[in-house]
Chain A
């Protein structure tokens, strides 16, 4: 058993060593509002996901696509869980190009559940042309694509402030405490009361940031709830069977030890 403890200890060293090895480039400590989806049994806050979708679609979607998500995902278990009727209405507000039809022509139609989220720009070049050369990244996996994950995105959203003296910024560049290099081409996207939450939650900057980041965290990891649930059971099962095997092993080996 001693060896096993040593071995577990070794694993912990390897892991901490690895996470250290990509140490922070930006020294500012990230903000953490306390996420419901962390921990062994963490789940998404359904209401927060729905509000987060509202913030995304009313604010972020003006510049940021989410091309790997489909409208149907919005009604799937473990997500915002809008009703299918609600999602059909949401989807129908977007137009997609389909075709060719039997006459060989392309045509536009209302989006359906099976369609991917419609993006704001036709292509990357169009996006850059309208954003001073910057390309607003696709947000489907953004939370996983940034070191610091949800905390990082949340911090950047709330990291706008006074430009410190001695820092000169070009036109269309903004100061942000948390982004690497402290310079960002996205203007502060959130101002108090920017969206009207239908559930009466007051739309403070912190609330909107928390909601939209929750939504983005789900978008990046849509099966997180299933993962936590299965993981909890799998590990419990493994622990139980390990104990059983341990005693079987002791019993089998007792034959040898008495012989010696």
Chain B
């Protein structure tokens, strides 16, 4: 951070800042030089921060009224919906907030994939992001269990049973996870405890994620390193703040449509039926944001291999900075990668769709092909593409293409090597 020299104007400010440099931090955040060509796909970091805070605040209030007990959880949710002042609003914001959170995180991740934001020197930012994503999925899954509806109970049963695929210790591990011999009250109470814990872990990781971001600074649509501060950058405040706010408001309008006009469209009707261990729903389906992984899990005929494939799907994302060997970051200058990128987007959407369908016949076949392609993309296409692809000339600075000046091609090529 280059602004250590900052001294507050007021005496008391200086006194405080010498002991705890919060004002220096605040000054750093205001002046933080940000590429001026960031497009709206870059606003999702701010949107995600908003989502996290919303989930924590609404969750805090819900926890004041919710009862984590197998016999009372469902009733307490109905109590929130009916008797707690604006309880319906808080719960619908929390439930739809989870979906909006994932919508934003998927856009954020796919933005990173398109513009190569995970590449050196931003690998740690990316890995922290992936850990946050993993924790988000855990938090969302456990949160979905809390209303103790049919999908809660059976979703919990299916997912926790995955661990029974582990050789030798599988059974013991599931029993340990459940706190009994089936999903029951001990499972619910520990899920509630963990569901309350995880958001604060995420919050801590978000701080690290932003800290790590502020070392090299933001990537940008053309994916080049910038001199900072320079003509290519703008101070974070007010330029990026106002832009993020505008994008956040658009996001909030969509969020509000869900909360106020179709609050249950993203959920499953069966979850308004109280959990019954004796009745299995016709289709057990996880929430939409977990469907691609669910499809991968079911695409593999062997249970253990299916679980391994599912976790491997996450693991390849974590090691992505080393799988993609291309030195050019942005897909704008990688004509082949750009196509494969859209194939991957389509592949993940297909996987998501197959995850919602019964695992049989034609659906299963497509899910298998899509699963195979997912791994081929990361493990074969990306490493090979980095070596073989003929990338386009990368400009030297953001202002250069804007000015229409001829790109210094020899320098650009040098940079590519």
What residues make up the interface of A, taking CB atoms closer than 8 Å to B?
A: 3-4, 7-8, 10-11, 14-15, 17-22, 25, 40, 68-69, 73, 137, 140-141, 144-147, 149, 180, 220-223, 226-228, 230-232, 234-235, 238-239, 241-242, 245-246, 248-249, 252-253, 256, 259-260
Query: In the complex, what residues of A have CB within 8 A of residue B246's CB?
Result: 242, 245-246, 249
Closest residue on chain A to residue B262 by CB atoms: A15
The 6 closest A-B pairs by CB, nearest first: A231-B260, A21-B356, A145-B272, A242-B249, A3-B40, A144-B272
Given A145-B270, A227-B88, check contact A256 B239 (CB 8 Å).
yes
Interface pair B272/A141, CB less than 8 Å apart = yes
Q: Across the interface, do A235 and B257 meet the contact criterion of CB distance under 8 Å?
A: yes
- Enumerate chain A residues within 8 angstroms of B273, measured Cβ to Cβ: 137, 145
Rounded to whole angstroms, the CA-CA distance of A241 and B402 in the bound complex is 31
List the B side residues contacting A221 at CB < 8 Å.
88
Name the contact of B103 in the complex, choosing from A11, A228, A245 (C-beta under 8 A).
A11
Contacts of A147 in B (CB 8 A): 269
Say yes or no: B250 contacts A73, CB within 8 Å. no
Q: A3-B40, A3-B41, A249-B242 are in contact. Are A260 and B356 (CB under 8 A)?
A: no
Contacting residues, chain B, for A140 (C-beta < 8 A): 78
CA distance A221 to B260 in the complex (A): 12
With A68-B78, A68-B82, A248-B242: A260-B250 Cβ-Cβ less than 8 Å? no
The answer to whether B253 and A256 touch across the interface, beta carbons within 8 angstroms, is no
Q: Measured between C-beta atoms, what is the minimum distance from A149 to chain B in Å?
A: 8
B282 adjacent to chain A (CB < 8 Å):
yes
- Seed contacts A17-B349, A144-B269, A235-B260; 6 additional CB < 8 Å A-B pairs: A25-B282, A145-B269, A227-B260, A242-B250, A245-B246, A252-B242
Enumerate chain A residues within 8 angstroms of B259, measured Cβ to Cβ: 231
A21-B288 in contact given A227-B88, A242-B250 (Cβ < 8 Å): yes
Q: State how many angstroms separate the Cβ of B220 from the closest Cβ of chain A.
A: 14
Q: Which of B19-72 contact A (CB under 8 A)?
A: 36, 39-41
Most buried by B among A10, A18, A252: A18
Number of interface residues of B (CB under 8 A): 54
- Complex contact B242–A256 (CB within 8 A): no
* Residues of chain B within 8 A of A222, CB atoms compared: 81-82
Q: Give the chain B neighbours of A146 by CB distance below 8 A.
A: 269
Q: Which of B92, B265, B270, B282 contacts A18 (CB 8 A)?
A: B265
B97-137 contacts to A, CB under 8 A, are 103, 107
Residues 62-96 of B contacting A (Cβ, < 8 Å): 75, 78, 81-82, 88-89, 92
Q: Which residue of B lies closest to A247 (CB)?
A: B246
| B190 within 8 A of partner (CB) | no
Q: A4-B40, A246-B246, A253-B239 are in contact. Are A260 and B353 (CB under 8 A)?
A: no
Q: Is the beta-carbon distance between B239 and A252 smaller than 8 angstroms?
A: yes
How far is the CB of A224 from the nearest CB of chain B, in Å?
A: 9
B252 at interface, CB cutoff 8 A: yes
Chain B residues 240-268 with CB under 8 Å of chain A are 242-243, 245-247, 249-250, 252-254, 256-257, 259-261, 263-266, 268
Interface residues of B (CB under 8 A from A): 36, 39-41, 75, 78, 81-82, 88-89, 92, 103, 107, 231, 234, 238-239, 242-243, 245-247, 249-250, 252-254, 256-257, 259-261, 263-266, 268-270, 272-273, 282-283, 285, 288, 291, 349, 352-353, 356-357, 399, 402-403
Known contacts A3-B40, A147-B269, A231-B259; is A260 also within 8 Å of B239 by CB? no
Q: How far is the CA of A242 from the CA of B283 in the complex (A)?
A: 41
User: A223 and B256: CB pair below 8 A?
Assistant: no
Given contacts A144-B269, A260-B402, is CB(A223)–CB(B234) below 8 Å?
no
In the docked arrangement, what's the CA distance between A223 and B75, Å? 17
5 contacts between A and B (CB under 8 A): A14-B288, A17-B353, A226-B88, A241-B249, A260-B403
Task: Determine which of B250, B260, B264 lies in contact with A234 in the assembled complex, contact meaning CB atoms within 8 Å.
Answer: B260
Q: Please, how many angstroms separate the alpha-carbon atoms of A132 and B257 in the complex?
A: 44
User: Do A21 and B89 contact each other (CB < 8 Å), given the known contacts A235-B253, A238-B249, A245-B246?
Assistant: no
Given contacts A3-B41, A246-B246, contact A238 B253 (CB under 8 A): yes
Known: A15-B265, A228-B260. A22 touches B253 (CB 8 A): no
Q: How far is the CA of A232 from the CA of B261 in the complex (A)?
A: 9
Residues of A within 8 A of B263 (CB): 227
Q: Is the CB of A141 within 8 A of B78?
A: yes
Q: A241 CA to B245 CA in the complex, in Å?
A: 10
In the complex, what residues of B have CB within 8 A of residue A226's CB?
Answer: 88
Q: Which residues of A contact B250 (CB under 8 A)?
A: 4, 7-8, 242
**Contacting residue for A239 out of B39, B78, B253, B282, CB 8 A:** B253
Q: Are A252 and B238 in contact (CB under 8 A)?
A: yes
Which chain A residue shows the least CB distance to B238?
A252
B284 to chain A, nearest CB (A): 12
A17 to B234, CA, bound (A): 39
Kindly state the separation between the CA atoms of A81 and B165 in the bound complex, as whole angstroms.
Answer: 55
Q: When A249-B243, A252-B242, A260-B231 are in contact, do A22 and B256 touch as well, CB less than 8 Å?
A: no
Is B257 within 8 A of A68, CB to CB?
no
Beta-carbon nearest neighbor of A243 in chain B: B249
Q: A3 — which chain B residues lie within 8 A by C-beta?
A: 39-41
Contact A238 B82 (CB under 8 A): no
A250 vs B78: C-alpha distance in the bound complex, in angstroms? Answer: 46
Closest chain-B Cβ to A49's Cβ sits at a distance in Å of 16
**Which residue of chain B has its CB nearest to the CB of A143?**
B272
Q: What A residues does B78 contact at CB under 8 A?
A: 68, 140-141
Neighbour of B40 across the interface among A7, A69, A256, CB < 8 A: A7
Return the chain A residue nearest B243 by Cβ: A249
A116: shortest Cβ distance to chain B, in Å? Answer: 10
Q: In the complex, which residue of chain B has the Cβ closest to the Cβ of A13?
A: B349
Q: Name the distance in Å between B325's Cβ and chain A's nearest Cβ.
A: 29
For B268, what are the chain A residues with a Cβ–Cβ distance below 8 Å? Answer: 22
